[in-house]
Amino acid sequence: MPRTRTQQKALAVLNYDLFQVESLSKPAPVTLYTKIREAAKVTSDIEPSISLSEGELPPEEELARMYERFNWIYFGGRLPSVKIEYSTRMTSAGSCAPHRRLIRIGRKYHELFPDELADTLKHEMIHLRHFRHDAAFKAEAARIGASIKARSHPSLRKPPKYIYVCSVCGREYPRQKRLRMASCGRCSRGGRFDRRYKLKLKKNQD
């Protein structure tokens, strides 16, 4: 799949994916549903009116329609109804909370990789039935043509501002925010603060 200039820049900055020769030309704008139909091998259907240009993401109502569509195409309509929302903070492609019937789609990730939206949704839909990326999950991913790996773009992962360490077991706790009165979760009993295992600041990038 050809990457856009923005994507290539992001990858080049990270010195990542450099061995792949790619053209710098922008891909032609495609409608989301062309992609879905290709993926689903559906040839005859009413053309929905939505058309996406690069970096432009469909509204949440459209995600709900995609979900319905995939539900019928791939799951015989047997998946429960769930809420699908964008997350602006999440740096991963997507997440799924089956018990809350909630699928979240990472906005930042898909602003960079808009072509992967359908794939992300399919991946998260499998999670409604299979919590982990186990053999059953992989079989389902192969069946409906979804990615197995949970994806997250390296440029979206911020380095931690603070790293705390437990001086007893040595476990590190990278954090974006300061911790006050925190003790090591591995060493402290019962999830309570325990002064003996108080975390010490090891790195401070402020």
Binding site for Zn ion (CB under 5 A): 150, 166, 168-169, 171, 184, 186-187
Indicate the residue among 52 and 105 with the shorter CB distance to Zn ion: 105
Indicate the residue among 168 and 182 with the shorter CB distance to Zn ion: 168
Residue 165 main-chain phi, psi, to 5 deg: -135, 145
- Residue 117 has which token pair? 């939206």
Indicate the residue among 86 and 173 with the shorter CB distance to Zn ion: 173
Strand partners, 162: 175, 204
**Starting from the edge strand earliest in sequence, which strands make up the sheet with 162-166, in order?**
172-175, 162-166, 199-204
The helix or strand, by DSSP H or E, that contains position 172, with its residue range, turns out to be strand 172-175
The helix or strand, by DSSP H or E, that contains position 4, with its residue range, turns out to be none
For the CB of residue 181, give the shortest distance to Zn ion in the complex, in Å. Answer: 15
For the CB of residue 47, give the shortest distance to Zn ion in the complex, in Å. Answer: 31
For the CB of residue 193, give the shortest distance to Zn ion in the complex, in Å. Answer: 13
For the CB of residue 122, give the shortest distance to Zn ion in the complex, in Å. Answer: 11
Indicate the residue among 50 and 150 with the shorter CB distance to Zn ion: 150
